[in-house]
A and B are shown apart, each in its own frame.
Chain A
């Protein structure tokens, strides 16, 4: 559970992000990004068009929208896993040309290496850091502790529940010590209870480790529970329809009147 003092510290940063100006507030800079795919039989399908968005350091931003609105594509472009057809993304002023520039990625599911135990999956992330195997394992254990899984260090992915696997995925992404955590519907395949539990865990980690998070989700209430800002994308072609400030103190409850008001607002924009 995040305590109030932490929450109070985090709020101004997010506000600053909207006002804009300083370099910290343009930590991730997405400028004029377009993405289109060549279509079978000629022509091109536009997946993303005119995406301009800046994200501040340590900010938590969610991308929501219908299937096919390009939110995963946008996340992949920030991750350097896909290229933009037009426009550019930069992180701390450096243009993104590929993965490994400070982006850690958590996928929806089945992205752990099945032949590695939880600990070794996490240690995989340390590979580039020039550590000995023992050091990597030790640090991996620290991260497993952070996600509450030190007891499952020796288990293979198939021996873990979906929720446990996602915790390992988060720990593995953190092993890179990324500045940015990019999460593609990481809790989308989990049951409601596990999902809420992991949302709380994620907030705790976010506040402890001071990461910038870009979080793709289908769920408006998940976005409202987690984010400083919510970016609503609309499909055909994917574009930014609306950006919402979530001005609700954490920890957030669904019964908060602002929560419901924002939910209604996003829902009506989503379905209009």
Chain B
């Protein structure tokens, strides 16, 4: 008990010492405040963001809401396309052979490198941002769905065949449930990609959203606001990933190694 308490207190104390040292370092001129904004400054920045907003009129809440909405639009669209397509490609080995190089290639292209091209296609508006997120999520999701369907434990297929289960019944009763943990893992990874892409996608053509907030802050040397943007993106990612983990535990209570898969 005492040990557990010490284990919790010690790291907290270490962080506190670091933050105080940081604060004092800035106050006594060893660190430049715009390079290493101290806690007090970050706190003041947060108050400013949640009251008058930055840029003026856009509060931290609307930045957050806009970013989450963009990510979810791209993410949901990507999943809605990738899941059925992946199931079909995975179920038909010839299709998998044909599409594998394309999937690997498209998945490997850094999504943000498409930004200039996508602006040419869709302009610098909402569609461009949602498209980029969707693109990043789609390929990650697609390759995981395909892999989930293709690499079902042969032991289970063999067991099913002893019951003369084949064709569509084999797919729905065995292959699909066996692929679900991998499909869930893909959904988690894709969401991570979505949040990675959004910051870059929001750096152009908008003043709203956490990516725009970070970029705008840079222009005005408001490093503490950049840090707040970072922290909030981290928190949202953490919350949504935990939520998906809980959902998976609820929907797939049978899945083993849940903690190994979750990241």
Q: Which residues of A contact B (CB under 8 A)?
A: 79, 81, 98-100, 103-105, 107, 110-117, 124-125, 127-128, 156-158, 173, 176
Instruction: Find B153's partner among A103, A110, A116, A117 (CB 8 Å cutoff).
Output: A110
Inter-subunit contact B162/A103 (CB<8 Å): yes
From A81, A112, A114, A158, B158 is in contact (CB under 8 Å) with: A81
Residues of A within 8 A of B252 (CB): 115
The answer to whether B164 touches A111, judged by C-beta atoms less than 8 angstroms apart, is no
Chain A residues, Cβ within 8 Å of B169 = 127
**Contact residues of B between 72 and 110, Cβ < 8 Å to A:** none
Choose one: B164, B174, B253, B256; the contact of A113 (CB below 8 Å): B174
Closest residue of chain B to A169 (Cβ to Cβ) is: B159
Closest chain A residue to B162, Cβ basis: A105
Q: 0/1 per residue, B179-221, Cβ < 8 Å to A?
A: 0100000000000000000000000000000000000000000
Is B255 in contact with A125, judged by CB distance below 8 angstroms?
A: no
CB atoms of B164 and A128 under 8 A apart: yes
B residues engaging A (CB < 8 A)?
A: 153, 155-156, 158-159, 161-165, 169, 173-174, 177-178, 180, 252-256
Cβ contact within 8 Å between A115 and B159:
no
B155, B164, B180: the one within 8 Å of A115 (CB): B180
Q: What is the predominant secondary structure among interface residues of chain B facing chain A? A: helix
The verdict on A81 contacting B161 (CB below 8 Å), with A114-B256, A115-B177 known, is: yes
Contact of A111 with B159 at beta-carbon distance under 8 Å, contacts A127-B165, A128-B164 already known: yes
Contact across chains for A99 and B254 when beta carbons are under 8 A apart: no
Please pick, from A114, A115, A117, A176, the residue contacting B163 in the complex, using a CB distance under 8 A.
A176
Assess whether A113 is in contact with B159, with CB atoms less than 8 Å apart.
Answer: yes
Report A-chain residues with C-beta under 8 Å of the C-beta of B254. 114-117, 156-158
> In the assembled complex, which residues on chain A have CB atoms less than 8 Å from the CB atom of B173?
124, 127
| Known pairs A110-B153, A110-B155, A114-B255; A79 contacts B162 (CB<8 A) | yes
- Chain A residue at minimum C-beta to C-beta distance from B153: A110
